[in-house]
Amino acid sequence: MKRILVVGGGGQIGTELVPHLQKIYGYDNVIAADVKPDVVKRLSLTSTAVRLDALDADSYAEIVKKYKIDSIYNLVALLSATGEKNPRLAWKINMGALLNTLNIAGETGCAVFTPSSIGAFGANTPHNKTPQDTIMRPNTMYGVCKVSGELLGDYYNSRFGVDTRSVRFPGIISNGAMPGGGTTDYAVEVFYKAVKEGRYTCEVPADAYMDMIYMPDALKATTQLMEADPLRLIHRNSFNIASMSFTPEQLFRKIKERIPDFSYDYSIDPVKAQIAYSWPDCLDDSCARSEWDWKPVWGMDEMVDDMLKACRRKFANGEF
């Protein structure tokens, strides 16, 4: 049985990954850690939760020892748009948390999952059916951290034998915790605004294609890769995964089909526009499919229906 630590457990992914892992590995075997005391308080309602600043290597190592952890999911990250506002802080947090994770894993034998992202690619990457192994010259500090993280993951695996695994997440659409500071956040925000106010102003250009994934598929990918037979893995850090790809305009039309009064317009943020156009339009995920049987379940229409249902329920319950 595994003993799992989810670092950055209160963010968009962690909020849903913790209960997902509890279902698979047992409630008592999953520890959620976050740096913010109010978030730790929220997490403690549904899990064993601890306060941890992942940049504090000694406290991090103590927690791993105290809870007899053997698998770490490191979700700590400043995302792409926030990273451009403060690139040095993005490097410090994203790389500091990852290096501490890898060093502790090297000392204790823990397996490590760290998400990479479509943000690891840049403007000169082939945009259509972006191959698994291709040009990676990102134009953001977030992307620079993701490429560096992929290289470090492979290095710690080959040099120190750490069992590192990772996927390049598309924009994740979910209705647990809100994302914050990403370029793909619009694809979550619009559902809340459509339900509450019937209108939305988008900062990403109407025609910017980006890969997206619905949270249940993102969770499935994470645990499926961590359970994959290591002998089948040619790659480790990091796998392209794909399930749907669309532009803001295409998403908003789908919402309007379901809420005819919904209206939207655009007020473009130049930084987000530049980032969105630099990222792939759609990834080729054939290596994930052949090395660990990746197969998404959710398509765009089912995702839109499910998001609207969840947001309407949350709105009716006074949750936003």
Kindly tell me which of 60 and 142 has the beta carbon lying closer to ligand AKB: 142
Q: Does 80 bind ligand AKB (CB under 6 A)?
A: yes
Among 73, 142, 156, 264, the active-site one is 142
Shortest reach from residue 256's CB to ligand AKB, in Å:
24
Q: For ligand AKB, which stretch binds (CB under 6 A), given 56-64, 177-185, 216-224, 235-243?
A: 177-185
Shortest reach from residue 315's CB to ligand AKB, in Å:
23
Residues 145-174 binding ligand AKB (CB under 6 A) are 169, 171
Exactly one of 71, 100, 139, 184 binds ligand AKB (CB under 6 A); that residue is 184
Q: List Cβ neighbours of 313 (8 Å cut-off, separation of 6 or more).
A: none
**Whole-number Å distance between alpha carbons of 174 and 123:** 27
Q: Which residues pair with 111 in a beta bridge?
A: 71
Q: For ligand AKB, which stretch binds (CB under 6 A), given 93-101, 131-139, 180-188, 199-207?
A: 180-188
Residue 307 φ/ψ, nearest 5 degrees: -65, -45
Q: Does 182 bind ligand AKB (CB under 6 A)?
A: yes
Cis peptide bond prior to 71, omega within 30° of 0: no
Q: Does 117 bind ligand AKB (CB under 6 A)?
A: yes
Q: How many CB atoms lie within 10 A of CB 158?
A: 11
Q: Does 278 bind ligand AKB (CB under 6 A)?
A: no
Q: Catalytic: 264?
A: no
Q: For ligand AKB, which stretch binds (CB under 6 A), given 15-23, 182-190, 201-209, 263-271?
A: 182-190
Q: Does 29 bind ligand AKB (CB under 6 A)?
A: no
Shortest reach from residue 254's CB to ligand AKB, in Å:
20
Kindly tell me which of 179 and 248 has the beta carbon lying closer to ligand AKB: 179
Residue 12, token pair as written in the block: 């968009």
Q: Which are the catalytic amino acids?
A: 142
Contact footprint for ligand AKB (CB under 6 A):
79-80, 117-119, 142, 169, 171, 179, 182-184
